[in-house]
Structure 1
Amino acid sequence: MACVCRILYVLFLAFFCNNLGVSSYILRAGEPPVTPNRTLFSAGGEFALGFFRPGNSSSSPSFLGIWYTPLNSTVIWVANRESPLPHHDSEPLFKLSNDGNLQLLDGRRNIIWSTNISGAGLARNPVEAYLQTNGNLILKQGDSQVWESFDDAGGNTLMPGMKLKVNTKTKTQNIIRSWTSLHDPRPGKFSWGMDPKGSPQFFIWKENSPYYRSNLYQDGFTKSMHFSKLGHTTTYSFAAENDEVYFRYFCDNPLIQMRFVLTPDGYIEAMVRKTKSDQWRIPWKVPRNPCEFYARCGSFGSCEKIGFSSHSICRCLEGFKPKSQREWENGNYSSGCERKREFRCHSKDDKFKKLEKMKWPDFSVSLGNMAFGECEAKCYSNCSCTAFAYANISERHPANCLNWFGDLVDLTYNYSVGVNAFGQDLYVRVHSSELDNGSSGNGHSDHYLVAKIVAPVSGFFLVCVLVYILKRKCFKSKADWLCKRSAVDNSMSTSPLVGNDEIELLQFSLQRIIDATNNFDTTNKLGEGGFGPVYKGFLSEFGMVAIKRLSKRSSQGLEEFMNELKLIAKLQHTNLVSLLGCCTEDEEKILIYEYLPKRSLDKFLFDPLEKHHLDWSTRAQIIEGIAQGILYLHKYSRLKVIHRDLKASNILLCETMKPKISDFGMARIFGLDQTQAETNHVVGTYGYIPPEYVLRGQFSEKSDVFSFGVLLLEIVSGQKNSEFFHQTHLSDTLLGWAWVNWKEGRPLEFVDSAIRESCDSLKVIRCIEVGLLCVQTIPTDRPTMSNVVRLLCTDHATPIPPLKEPAFVASHSNANVSTSHREVSGSYSQNEITISVLESR
């Protein structure tokens, strides 16, 4: 028996070596090429070069790429991103040709991709291709390196030691391009590279327009970050050498692998893993908040993130005002700011205002090394100079003078994110009247210094008195105890969460709310639900906000209001709406949220005139965002939360059409080990409620899964479940129509006609299958949200469990819900009624 095992083992090794890979890391002309059955490995076996199919699906096109050998789904470079090989082509090959170029050939031996280096010189001298231990594929002619994959545009990954660079003379640069999706290597909308102007900063571009910009660094800047949990230090550096400006990084622990990935939705993610692990961790990513988006606040406008929330404020720099007050009140800051008072050049009218902790603006001009006074004088002597900065990195690197001319763009206050992790001083040219006591940014008068001391002390005592008075009012009702500290005039709480249940929220007076909404003017009304109306308003602390006023006639009373107040204040996630403040004066119960200008998903999805804004990539982004938000509620938040009212009208959309889950009035907190609860007070919205909840009053995480499944199928089909009608009468419900189409092998007929021709058919079918899995009749047949996210993100790599006929296939009447509880008719009405009292059976 042992002999037979040895023979089988030897035969297996022989088969593996001959058919699955080549041990050599060198590729030479005339030697066996790389084929679907032969792979090139790096010297240490850490990386492989070969053919792969995204999602390991036989129906997917094939690509030539480089990947980590333990994780064949972790691809770092792809040769033929723009020219995928058809799935039926089983005989492509990759070789080093006789002219010294690397070539990818299809089954008919047409050249699909090549290094395209002039072959005249290469043909006379031997050339070899090496797959290095760092994942870089290089072409060498003798001791000269003539090409490398690290400089090619085939990757979405920045590897350790790899330079992100630009040549200041030729303006050539290596660009990292995102994939179209997580499992589609074709070039996506986003690219990442150094500033082509030669400034030491990098950009993310979205379709050639700036989307994100790093801080402005100086030559020789180096920063180390220690990650204690994984036990390694990563060193980042910017440098300028031989006409090149570049950024690169190194990891000091050989047992740790690290990479930077530009994701399909425009984020740079730092991914780290131990070599024996199959899981990548993401310690940070950018952009992380709205202030990171390029020029968010326009020219001379500065963005500031509020506490730990996802909300931000745009403010004009001191001495400037909005160009269009109306646009700023409507949340559109792109028009920027202008000077309050013009100054006369070379007179006493213009001074420099010192702004601290700033992300320096774009379009800087370096004037070289000089003293601070000389740098200031250089800017002052030029009437076009708007601002200057003085960079003093270290003793090894002399100070550098920077000037800015024209508008100041992409400013951020209190800048501290990721590898940037610092803000610096910026000196902005303003009219002297904008400075305190007419002093410049460099000094202050004695009177001003006295004022700086006296004013805070006086203010402190005044605040103490007001806090004492307001504290007594703050605890006068059952709701007010939540407000640990009220706002004084226009001041704000600095920490959104304190302790376990003590929540700091900015509390507003009723008069402030009345002023913000123009006395609840109907022209400011955004919509209305079972709780009451929502208005658009303007508050100086936040800009445009959404103000939710609980109707006195609403069945959602103080309990629901308090529930929402406690829940949202403790939840922080990019796919959840941010709660900014509250008002409980004169029996009013009012919540203030971040304003999302695109409003709710149903306004687009069910409106035939608006749904063209929802192409397939946007819908896929919305589906994934909603799933991530629910997963956070169920598993990763401080509380285990069951939403209980997921529907299209409760999904709000930001400027970039990313979704945020709203309306937590019906939500319930579960214990960490709790799986199910029962109630005689059934709440929710017709069309989204699972059968066990309607019939027995039972709710759990699987209730939200059911609602998500309905919502997913609505997004794919563009039809509302509660108002579905199909002329063939094959089914009375949207769920039934999805089931019939899937069961009969024509799932694409279920897809919204607005996207049917342009969508990714494989991904749409996967979404339909996941939706049907979520709306299974028996809760235990439904997946958890963790599994939902995994199924949606892995395409066909993870099989779908066997599907059964979903709930409510025959008719909505199966739910035994009276039609009196139907939503108000009109497929995209602003009024959607929530069931708030249904006796369970």
Structure 2
Amino acid sequence: MLVFTYLWLWTSSCIQVKAANHTLKPGDSLNGTNQLCSENGYYCIGFVEQLGGLSYLTIISNIKNNTWEVWIANRNEPIFNNSGLLSLDQSGVLKIESQGGKPIILYSPPPQSTNNNSILATLLDIGNFVVQQLHPNGSTKSVLWQSFDYPTDCLLPGMKLGVNHKTGQNWSLVSWVSESFPGPGSFRLEWEPREHELIMRRQEQVIWKSGKLINNRFFEHIPEESQHIYQYNQVSNDDEDYFTFTTPNTKEPTKWALFETGELTGSEGKEIAGADMCYGYNNDRGCQKWKIPTCRNPGDVFESREGYPNTFGNDTSIEPNKSYGIGDCQASCWSKCSCVGFKSYDDSGGTGCIFFFGKTLDGVTLVSVGQKFNMLVPKPQHKGTNKWIWIGAAIATFLLIICSAILCLAIMKRKYMLKDKRRMETETQGLADSDGSTGVKDLEDNFSKGHDFKVFSYASVKEATTNFSSKNQLGEGGFGPVYKGVLPTGREVAVKRLAKTSGQGTVEFKNELMLICELQHMNLVKLLGCCIHGQERMLIYEYMPNKSLDFFLFDDTRSKLLDWQKRFNIIEGLSHGLLYLHKYSRLKIIHRDLKASNILLDENMNPKISDFGMARIFTQHQTIVNTNKIVGTYGYMSPEYVMEGSFSTKSDVYSYGVLLLEIVSGRMNNSSCDAADQLLNLVGHAWELWNDGVCLELMDPSLNDTFVLEEVHKCIHIGLLCVEHYAKDRPDMSDIISMLTNKTAPVTMPRRPAFYVGRQMGERGRSSKSIESNTFYTKEISDSSELESR
């Protein structure tokens, strides 16, 4: 209570730097009598003096007069005599100085940095104190440092819990030692990315877990009424793993606060976690079990009392260690069999411990008031031989009933398993190849060896998709509709239902099963299982919430959501996915149908290559294969494949080049471009602009000023190299990745691309059709000369 009273006095008496002055410019400083407030006054930063005369640079929430310390810069290095000074010097260094103390450097620009006059330190209305560099027009160029990367004991909307794999930065909450001493205490809240849950440690002991995050909405062991206002988000990739939350109303005071007792509270003080009630024997509300002393019994708890006990007949001992918080005192007393209570040793700072040993404190006389201590309340132990006899008999009877029930269930389960096995064999019988080779039953046996693959029942898929409701339909692929489904576990999936009249027969279906189950890469879509029911064949994939690339790229409104950084990340992700297929997977794979509609986007707009129905497996020594069946999508197929039926990894490179030009321009390759009285496709148009030295005119106008000039120019250059006429002249995927990541421009200059002159195709709309389903190519092509004549 003293702390909050002091905060109120501080926010009332300090001179506030408001509105336009929410920023420190080079040469500005902030002393102990001033505070800097965000633009709308939601948060203020300044030096706060705690009990004991120590002061700390602190961010205080000031929303609806709800004062709360949400971040401390120097919790390990307090300042004496309120002599603190926060400054941003002319060289761009943000630091805390004090009389007789060493400077505390919060941020220092790199040695080679020259333009430090554009560096500002700003307190944002979300409570984030940032050091940012500005463009000449005043817009933010980059964030160089932010307080959100160094959380203390409060988690605000947008702050992260997790780890940055690139820098090794760990984002976690650490409690105060006590309510008036902000040094790092004994409780730490972390994000566990493998299990997708929050965990709390006391020292190194895991004492509480939130349980898994279900549907990104609720944690298993957090009260539902404490979660309903939060929107959770979790991110996991090669660069970082983290959890964060947001709230719909940014003007409401929202935070998670980790107290020195191990309590974690949220909005309006509602409990998120109560680790102070975790003793090792209980697992309610997320508490974890661990080995407890033999002298402690399940049900023993500590209860808070007010006053100092008359300890006549009891021994006392003192632990004066200032780093001991109340949680450490409780853990230490719990581990000592003769300890019956404890309290803080230093009441002014709340650190250190006093332990009471010997008799119970229950019923002792209190010799003072206003002080708090914690008393062990043992669980009552009842004695009585007859009672235990009755309990033993009841347990034995119960076990007999349970064993009988288990035996009956086992017999019934075996009966139903045999019935299901016969049904499954009947359903999969029709899926054998026409030549009698391996069927799906054999594939099922193979998948069970090291693959997380499941054969779903038809009933479960119908239930997941609400009987294939049109409201659940995500789109219409070349081989049938795709539906969104929700499994009983809450997991969202995409169900690809193959049309009975589709061009994908048994061979293609098994091909896609075999291929995707062998492939494991972050830029490839994951196949979870399949469903076989009579003539029905379905593939169940992981659900991609942002649909496919063409959904955004070729729409005038949604394309604005794809800024240049997102597009370049998609280009890089696709190159890594293709390189894996061509070189590093267990099987050498040629996709043969790479296009925007087959690139799915996850919740973070990361690309995943999908639809392997047309893919082909190469041996490691094969480079080129010929076929008399041409399949693919008009505009993405390489000339040697269209004209001669010859395909290789360079065929995928050609498709990648077309896709790269589409990503840069925001236009489909099949769309027409008028130039010099001739109708050009996108590839031809890009070549014309390159020859005229104005290739940047190809860029999507919706990118505005988000693009990086050198990267756009490089991507157009690489795209034209990929669509060259002869396969041998195109780069392979490893060369493409090298060119993308290298800061210098590609050395090789592009030559005239294949299919330079476009055809009079008419208005084709925004969708891309596969050759086998396109009215222009309705006949299956068995001779390359037939295709060429068209």
TM-score (norm 2): 0.54
Structure 2 counterpart of 1:681: 629
Aligned equivalents of 1:735 and 1:650: distance in 2? 20
Q: Which letter maps to 2:612?
A: F
State the number of aligned residues: 518
Q: Is the 8 A contact 2:630 2:642 kept in 1?
A: yes
Q: For the structure 1 residues 731 and 117, does the alpha-carbon distance in structure 2 shift closer, same or farther, using more than 3 Å as the test?
A: same
Q: For the structure 1 residues 708 and 737, does the alpha-carbon distance in structure 2 shift closer, same or farther, using more than 3 Å as the test?
A: same
What is the SS of the residue equivalent to 2:728? helix
Q: For the structure 1 residues 801 and 636, does the alpha-carbon distance in structure 2 shift closer, same or farther, using more than 3 Å as the test?
A: same
Q: Is 1:801 matched with 2:748? A: yes
Q: For the structure 1 residues 173 and 716, does the alpha-carbon distance in structure 2 shift closer, same or farther, using more than 3 Å as the test?
A: closer
Structure 2 counterpart of 1:527: 475
Q: Is 1:825 matched with 2:764? A: yes
1:556 to 490, 500, 504: 504
Aligned equivalents of 2:328 and 2:185: distance in 1? 18
Q: Is 1:700 matched with 2:630? A: no
Structure 1 residue 705 displacement after superposition: 1.1
For each residue in 1:63-86, what CA deviation from the matched residue of structure 2 results, as whole angstroms up to 9, or x when unmatched? xxxxxxxxxxxxxxxxxxxxxxxx
- The correspondence of residues 521-670 of structure 1 with structure 2, limited to 5 A, is 521-670=469-618
Q: For the structure 1 residues 776 and 531, does the alpha-carbon distance in structure 2 shift closer, same or farther, using more than 3 Å as the test?
A: same
For structure 2, the 5+ residue unaligned runs are: 1-86, 112-126, 165-171, 200-208, 233-244, 249-280, 290-294, 307-325, 342-393, 433-438, 786-790
Q: Which letter maps to 2:531?
A: C
Aligned equivalents of 2:444 and 2:134: distance in 1? 47
Q: Is the 8 A contact 1:748 1:756 kept in 2?
A: no
- The correspondence of residues 48-447 of structure 1 with structure 2, limited to 5 A, is 113-115=91-93, 146=103, 151-152=106-107, 154=109, 187=142, 196-198=151-153, 209-213=158-162, 244-245=183-184, 291=196, 302-303=211-212, 317=220, 354=284, 446=395
Q: Which letter maps to 2:540?
A: I
Q: Which letter maps to 1:838?
A: I
Structure 1 counterpart of 2:241: none
What is the SS of the residue equivalent to 1:801? coil
Q: For the structure 1 residues 575 and 393, does the alpha-carbon distance in structure 2 shift closer, same or farther, using more than 3 Å as the test?
A: farther
Q: For the structure 1 residues 457 and 734, does the alpha-carbon distance in structure 2 shift closer, same or farther, using more than 3 Å as the test?
A: farther
Q: For the structure 1 residues 827 and 450, does the alpha-carbon distance in structure 2 shift closer, same or farther, using more than 3 Å as the test?
A: farther
For structure 1, the 5+ residue unaligned runs are: 1-102, 105-110, 123-143, 157-171, 216-235, 248-267, 269-285, 295-299, 306-311, 337-350, 360-369, 382-388, 402-444, 486-495, 814-818
Q: For the structure 1 residues 497 and 731, does the alpha-carbon distance in structure 2 shift closer, same or farther, using more than 3 Å as the test?
A: same
- The correspondence of residues 447-458 of structure 1 with structure 2, limited to 5 A, is none
**Which is further off, 718-727 or 370-379?**
370-379
Q: Which letter maps to 2:755?
A: F
Structure 2 counterpart of 1:481: 441
Aligned equivalents of 1:153 and 1:581: distance in 2? 52
Structure 1 residue 520 displacement after superposition: 2.3
What is the SS of the residue equivalent to 1:712? helix
Q: Which letter maps to 1:561?
A: F
Q: Is 1:838 matched with 2:781? A: yes
Q: For the structure 1 residues 664 and 378, does the alpha-carbon distance in structure 2 shift closer, same or farther, using more than 3 Å as the test?
A: farther
Aligned equivalents of 2:305 and 2:404: distance in 1? 33
Q: Is the 8 A contact 1:647 1:711 kept in 2?
A: yes
Structure 1 counterpart of 2:686: 738
Structure 2 counterpart of 1:513: 461
Q: Which letter maps to 2:570?
A: I
Q: For the structure 1 residues 676 and 178, does the alpha-carbon distance in structure 2 shift closer, same or farther, using more than 3 Å as the test?
A: farther
Q: For the structure 1 residues 588 and 760, does the alpha-carbon distance in structure 2 shift closer, same or farther, using more than 3 Å as the test?
A: same
Whose radius of gyration is greater, 1 or 2? 2
What is the SS of the residue equivalent to 1:767? helix
Q: Which letter maps to 1:827?
A: R
Q: For the structure 1 residues 390 and 703, does the alpha-carbon distance in structure 2 shift closer, same or farther, using more than 3 Å as the test?
A: farther
Structure 1 residue 639 displacement after superposition: 1.9
Structure 1 residue 752 displacement after superposition: 0.5
Structure 1 residue 794 displacement after superposition: 2.2
Q: Which letter maps to 1:354?
A: D
Aligned equivalents of 2:134 and 2:402: distance in 1? 53
Q: Which letter maps to 1:531?
A: F
Q: For the structure 1 residues 178 and 665, does the alpha-carbon distance in structure 2 shift closer, same or farther, using more than 3 Å as the test?
A: farther
What is the SS of the residue equivalent to 1:533? strand
Q: For the structure 1 residues 319 and 732, does the alpha-carbon distance in structure 2 shift closer, same or farther, using more than 3 Å as the test?
A: closer
Q: Is the 8 A contact 1:155 1:176 kept in 2?
A: no
For each residue in 1:84-141, what CA deviation from the matched residue of structure 2 results, as whole angstroms up to 9, or x when unmatched? xxxxxxxxxxxxxxxxxxx99xxxxxx962447799999xxxxxxxxxxxxxxxxxxx
What is the SS of the residue equivalent to 1:722? coil
Q: Which letter maps to 2:440?
A: D
| Percent identical | 35
Aligned equivalents of 2:443 and 2:733: distance in 1? 33
Aligned equivalents of 1:394 and 1:154: distance in 2? 44
Aligned equivalents of 1:631 and 1:246: distance in 2? 48
What is the SS of the residue equivalent to 1:699? strand
Structure 1 counterpart of 2:703: 755
Aligned equivalents of 1:463 and 1:380: distance in 2? 56
Structure 1 residue 730 displacement after superposition: 6.2
Q: For the structure 1 residues 639 and 179, does the alpha-carbon distance in structure 2 shift closer, same or farther, using more than 3 Å as the test?
A: farther
What is the SS of the residue equivalent to 1:547? strand
TM-score (norm 1): 0.51
Q: Is the 8 A contact 2:589 2:618 kept in 1?
A: yes
Q: For the structure 1 residues 117 and 645, does the alpha-carbon distance in structure 2 shift closer, same or farther, using more than 3 Å as the test?
A: closer
Structure 1 residue 749 displacement after superposition: 0.4
Q: Is the 8 A contact 1:176 1:193 kept in 2?
A: no
What is the SS of the residue equivalent to 1:187? strand
Structure 1 residue 664 displacement after superposition: 0.8
Aligned equivalents of 1:190 and 1:155: distance in 2? 12
Q: For the structure 1 residues 513 and 173, does the alpha-carbon distance in structure 2 shift closer, same or farther, using more than 3 Å as the test?
A: closer
Aligned equivalents of 2:588 and 2:781: distance in 1? 25
Structure 1 counterpart of 2:738: 790
**Which is further off, 626-635 or 189-198?**
189-198
For each residue in 1:288-343, what CA deviation from the matched residue of structure 2 results, as whole angstroms up to 9, or x when unmatched? 6794799xxxxx985369xxxxxx8877637978999xx99xxxx9999xxxxxxx
Q: Is the 8 A contact 2:633 2:770 kept in 1?
A: no
Structure 2 counterpart of 1:493: none
Q: Is the 8 A contact 1:303 1:314 kept in 2?
A: no
Q: Is 1:810 matched with 2:757? A: yes
Q: Is the 8 A contact 1:730 1:737 kept in 2?
A: no
Q: Which letter maps to 1:655?
A: E
Q: Is the 8 A contact 2:213 2:219 kept in 1?
A: no
Q: For the structure 1 residues 769 and 519, does the alpha-carbon distance in structure 2 shift closer, same or farther, using more than 3 Å as the test?
A: same
Structure 1 residue 545 displacement after superposition: 1.9
Structure 1 residue 192 displacement after superposition: 8.3
Aligned equivalents of 1:506 and 1:588: distance in 2? 16
**Which is further off, 189-198 or 559-568?**
189-198
Aligned equivalents of 2:457 and 2:769: distance in 1? 28
Q: Is the 8 A contact 1:531 1:556 kept in 2?
A: yes
Aligned equivalents of 2:305 and 2:727: distance in 1? 71
